[in-house]
Amino acid sequence: MIRVAINGYGTIGKRVADAVAAQPDMEVVGVSKTRPSSEAFIANERGYPLYIADIANRGKFEAAGIAVAGDVEEMLRKCDIVVDATPGGVGKDNKKLYELYGVKAIWQGGEKHEVAGISFNSSCNYNDAFGADFVRVVSCNTTGLCRIIQLIDEAYDVKSVFATMVRRGSDPGGIKKGPVDAIVLNPVTIPSHHGPDVQTVLPDINIVTTAMIVPTTFMHMHVLQMVLANEANAAEILELIRGHPRIGLVKGSTGITSTAELRELASDMGRPRSDLWESCVFEDSVSVVEGTLYLFQAIHQEADVVVENIDAIRAMMQVTPEAGESIRMTNEALGLKAI
């Protein structure tokens, strides 16, 4: 069993912990929090040993009735690999600690590429992470872009990409952020950081991205166009998408045209936390006009990177050299089937 620790048991960390616990070849040896919170109670309830960043706070946790197993350094002594899901910009400071304890580490998209030197997406560059000590799983938007661009590029040779990200304002549990009544250009300058981030995984892709934030909490929506070198038609592209293990097609026959309906679908499917681990491409949007592919895809920001973290663990721990095999194992353990 691969012994996995999760440093930072928040939006992403708690999902990664549950996904690790569901895998036949992995176990959760610990999760960490900085302050007592409802998530700390849940960690106790799920039986994940809870470690804390600053052991001086132990009394605060215990006064709240939360059992503490020790500090983060003790957690690192017990694991083979740590998934760092601390807030963006915090994780890089933990690298020295991971080096000190000789554990492999995975960071999230809130950290820069340089923290690990390998930016990861299961479908694109699983082999780059094989046996690696440090890997960064790219952000939710970049994950969604990489999956579809790589699929189309392999079949049709993508000459250029233009994509606009309509981004959720905050995660559903967030109470501190807006916007409340605005569409915020994020950033106002072009390109947004997403294009260069895609190039950390797919360096040969010519891509320009723009992004704006809207007052919603569940999912981002991408408007994508790709200029193709080879002749293509929508029917063939839909067939390709159907064959991808992490891209779901939102069928026209469902009548779904919004993220709100997707959340209802995920909840009806019994998905934990209404998580959609797959990119959701709207079938009826897939169009080819004069050599350019256009489509809409919705990306569940809290979920799509979770399955990528699981595959990154398998690559780094050299469980299998085959990306497809790891993806199959991860999907099967979580019950990820075509929507």
Q: How far is the CB of 160 from ligand NAD (least distance, A)?
A: 26
Q: How far is the CB of 51 from ligand NAD (least distance, A)?
A: 9
Q: Would you call 155 helix, strand, or coil by DSSP?
A: helix
Cα(275)–Cα(269) distance, integer angstroms: 10
Cα(214)–Cα(318) distance, integer angstroms: 41
Q: Which of 23, 122, 123, 139 binds ligand NAD (CB under 6 A)?
A: 139
Cα(110)–Cα(87) distance, integer angstroms: 7
**Beta carbons of 27 and 4 less than 8 angstroms apart:** yes
Measured from the CB atom, is 286 or 313 closer to ligand NAD? 313
Which of these segments, 4-12, 280-288, 315-323, 330-338, binds ligand NAD (CB under 6 A)? 4-12
**Beta carbons of 98 and 76 less than 8 angstroms apart:** yes
Residues 156-215 within binding reach of ligand NAD (CB under 6 A): 171
What residue number has its CB nearest to ligand NAD?
10
Any contact of residue 12 with ligand NAD (CB under 6 A)? yes
Helices (H) and strands (E) in the chain, counts: 12, 16
Q: Which of 21, 22, 42, 90 binds ligand NAD (CB under 6 A)?
A: 90
Question: Residue 113 is which amino acid?
Answer: H
Q: How far is the CB of 166 from ligand NAD (least distance, A)?
A: 15
Cα(126)–Cα(120) distance, integer angstroms: 7
Count of beta carbons in the 10 Å neighbourhood of residue 279: 25
Q: Would you call 80 helix, strand, or coil by DSSP?
A: coil
Q: How far is the CB of 169 from ligand NAD (least distance, A)?
A: 11
Number of chain positions touching ligand NAD (CB under 6 A): 26
Q: Which of 9, 98, 156, 162 binds ligand NAD (CB under 6 A)?
A: 9
Q: Which of 18, 197, 275, 302 binds ligand NAD (CB under 6 A)?
A: 302
Cα(96)–Cα(116) distance, integer angstroms: 12
Give me the active site residues, please.
140
Any contact of residue 11 with ligand NAD (CB under 6 A)? yes
Question: Residue 24 is which amino acid?
Answer: P
Q: Which of 108, 121, 123, 200 binds ligand NAD (CB under 6 A)?
A: 108
Region class of 79: left (phi > 0), else alpha (psi between -120 and 50), else beta? beta
Q: Which of 5, 76, 86, 248 binds ligand NAD (CB under 6 A)?
A: 86
Q: Which of 17, 81, 85, 103 binds ligand NAD (CB under 6 A)?
A: 85
**Beta carbons of 140 and 301 less than 8 angstroms apart:** yes
Residue written as token pair 């892709």: 205
Measured from the CB atom, is 228 or 316 closer to ligand NAD? 316
Which of these segments, 60-68, 80-88, 182-190, 237-245, binds ligand NAD (CB under 6 A)? 80-88
Q: Would you call 50 helix, strand, or coil by DSSP?
A: strand
Residue written as token pair 């075509």: 338
Count of beta carbons in the 10 Å neighbourhood of residue 138: 24
Any contact of residue 7 with ligand NAD (CB under 6 A)? yes
Any contact of residue 18 with ligand NAD (CB under 6 A)? no
Residues 247-286 within binding reach of ligand NAD (CB under 6 A): none
Measured from the CB atom, is 53 or 132 closer to ligand NAD? 53
Any contact of residue 330 with ligand NAD (CB under 6 A)? no
Q: How far is the CB of 27 from ligand NAD (least distance, A)?
A: 20
Q: How far is the CB of 236 from ligand NAD (least distance, A)?
A: 31
- C-alpha angle 126-109-158 in degrees, rounded to nearest 5: 55
Cα(327)–Cα(271) distance, integer angstroms: 18
Judged by the rule CB under 6 A, the positions of this chain that interact with ligand NAD are 7-13, 32-34, 53, 85-88, 90, 108-111, 139-140, 171, 301-302, 305
